[in-house]
Homo-oligomer: A and B are copies of this chain.
Amino acid sequence: MNKRATLKDIAKATGVHVSTVSRALDPNRATPISDDVVKKVQDAARELGYRPNRAAYSLRTNRTMTIGVMIPDITNTLFPPIVRGIESVMEPKGYASIMVNTDSQRGREVALLGTLQERGVDGIIHTAALRNEPSIVEAAASGLPIVTLNRKIEGTEIPYVINDEQAGIAAVFAHLTSFGHRQIAHIAGPADLSTGKLRREGFLAAARAHGLDPSGLAISEALRFDEEEGERCAHEILDAAPGTTAILGANDRLALGALRALGKRGLTCPGDVSLTGFNDMPLLDLIPPGLTTVRIQQFEAGQTAARHLLSLIRGDVGAVPQRTILPVELIRRASVAAPRRAARG
C-alpha cells in the first residue's frame, strides 16, 4: 500500500512550491501561471499518479462534492430510474451521491438526514419525503440546498419536482367515464405520502368534474403501496359497494392487488370490473389483462431535480423554479372496458 502522491510530492519533484502546484492543477485557475511550470507540474502529477485528497479539499473548502439522495426504498421500481437520472447530471460535474433508504419511517428519515449533514453533503435530493416531517425544513432553513422530488413541502420555499398527478388521475378517470363507468371506486395510497394525498384529491376533483357526487363513491385507503393492501382495499370496496364497475388504483401495485382480489371473488377484469393503475412499472404490460395506467417520467424527474440542486449549490437561486411539474401519459391497455350494465345517471 504505497500511499498516494500529494501536492508536496509534486512540489518536491518539480522544484516549485506546493501552492504553485495547487494552482497549476486547478482547472479553473484564477491566478496566471507560466506555461512551462503548468506543463512540468501536470507531467509530474501524471507521472506520480496524483489524485487529490478529497478530505483535505473538503476540510479546506467546506465542499464535499457529494450530495445526499434520500429515497424510501430502492427496491421499489419507481426509484432506480430516478437515481440514474440524478447520477447522469451529477457525475459529469464531479459529484458523487450517497443514497439512503428511509423506508418511509420518520425515525430513519431524521437519523439519515443527520448522517448526511454530518458528512457535509453539498445538497440533498429528497424523494417522497414524509408529509409533516419538519427536520428537512430545518435543514433547508439552515442553508443546506435541498430539492424534493414527488413531494411538495407546504409553507416553504424548497423547490420541488413532481409529476402531474392531478392530470394523470384526471386522464384515467376520463378514460373510465368514456367507457360509461359511473360507479368508480378508488384505492387511495397512504395519506402521509404526498402521492397518496394528491391522487386522492385528483380522484375527487375528477369525479366532480364529471358531475359525480364524490360522497357517493367508494374510497378505501391503503396503509402501504403494495399488493397486499391493494387486495384488502379491493375486498373492502366490493363488499361496501357491490355495484362498483371500475376501480381506480393509486398505483400499479395496489391495482395488481385488486386484480388478485377480483380473481378470488370469481370476477374478471375487465369483464366485471375495470381497473387502472399509476406509474407503469416495468413488465406491467406482460401481466394480463394488461393494466391501463399512467406513465410518469422518472429519469427526467431525477435529472431535473439534480439540475436544480446544482443551481442551488452554485448559489444561483434565481435559476430554480419553486415548482416543476412533469407531464404524464395515459397508457391504454386491456384492463378497461365498458361496464356490463352501464349505470348511467
In the bound complex, do residue A55 and residue B64 qualify as a contact, i.e. CB atoms below 8 Å apart? yes
> A66, A114, A286, A288: which has the most chain B beta carbons within 10 Å?
A286
> Min CB distance, A144 to chain B, in Å?
8
Contact bitstring A73-110, B, C-beta under 8 A = 1, else 0: 11101001101100100010000111111000000000
Stretch at the interface among A116-124, A161-169, A304-312: A116-124
- Among B54, B75, B117, B287, contact of A119 (Cβ-Cβ < 8 Å): B54
In the bound complex, do residue B51 and residue A117 qualify as a contact, i.e. CB atoms below 8 Å apart? yes
Instruction: Count copies of this chain in the complex.
Output: 2
In the bound complex, do residue A1 and residue B81 qualify as a contact, i.e. CB atoms below 8 Å apart? no
Closest to A88 in B: B101
In the bound complex, do residue A115 and residue B87 qualify as a contact, i.e. CB atoms below 8 Å apart? no
Q: Which of A7-60 contact B (CB under 8 A)?
A: 51-56, 58-59
Cα A2 to Cα B139 in complex, Å, equals 11
Of the four ranges (under 10, 10 to 19, 20 to 34, 35 or more), the interface on chain A belongs to: 35 or more
CB contacts (< 8 Å) of A184 on chain B: these are none
- Among B100, B142, B281, B287, contact of A2 (Cβ-Cβ < 8 Å): B142
In the bound complex, do residue A84 and residue B55 qualify as a contact, i.e. CB atoms below 8 Å apart? no
In the bound complex, do residue A118 and residue B286 qualify as a contact, i.e. CB atoms below 8 Å apart? no
A296 at interface by CB-CB < 8 Å: no
> Min CB distance, A4 to chain B, in Å?
8
> Min CB distance, A176 to chain B, in Å?
23
CB contacts (< 8 Å) of A319 on chain B: these are none
CB contacts (< 8 Å) of A73 on chain B: these are 84
A53-B120, A59-B55 as given contacts; A115 in contact with B96, CB under 8 Å: yes
> A83, A96, A99: which has the most chain B beta carbons within 10 Å?
A96
Closest to A284 in B: B283
A256 at interface by CB-CB < 8 Å: yes
Closest to A1 in B: B143
A51-B117, A118-B52, A118-B54 as given contacts; A84 in contact with B59, CB under 8 Å: no
> Min CB distance, A84 to chain B, in Å?
6
In the bound complex, do residue A80 and residue B75 qualify as a contact, i.e. CB atoms below 8 Å apart? yes
> Min CB distance, A228 to chain B, in Å?
14
- Among B97, B120, B143, B283, contact of A54 (Cβ-Cβ < 8 Å): B120
Closest to A112 in B: B91
> A55, A74, A87, A118: which has the most chain B beta carbons within 10 Å?
A55
CB contacts (< 8 Å) of A2 on chain B: these are 142
Q: Which of A242-274 contact B (CB under 8 A)?
A: 256
| 5 examples of A-B residue contacts, CB within 8 angstroms | A51-B118, A55-B64, A59-B59, A281-B283, A286-B287
Q: Which residues of A contact B (CB under 8 A)?
A: 1-2, 51-56, 58-59, 64, 66, 73-75, 77, 80-81, 83-84, 87, 91, 96-101, 114-115, 117-120, 142-143, 256, 281-284, 286-288
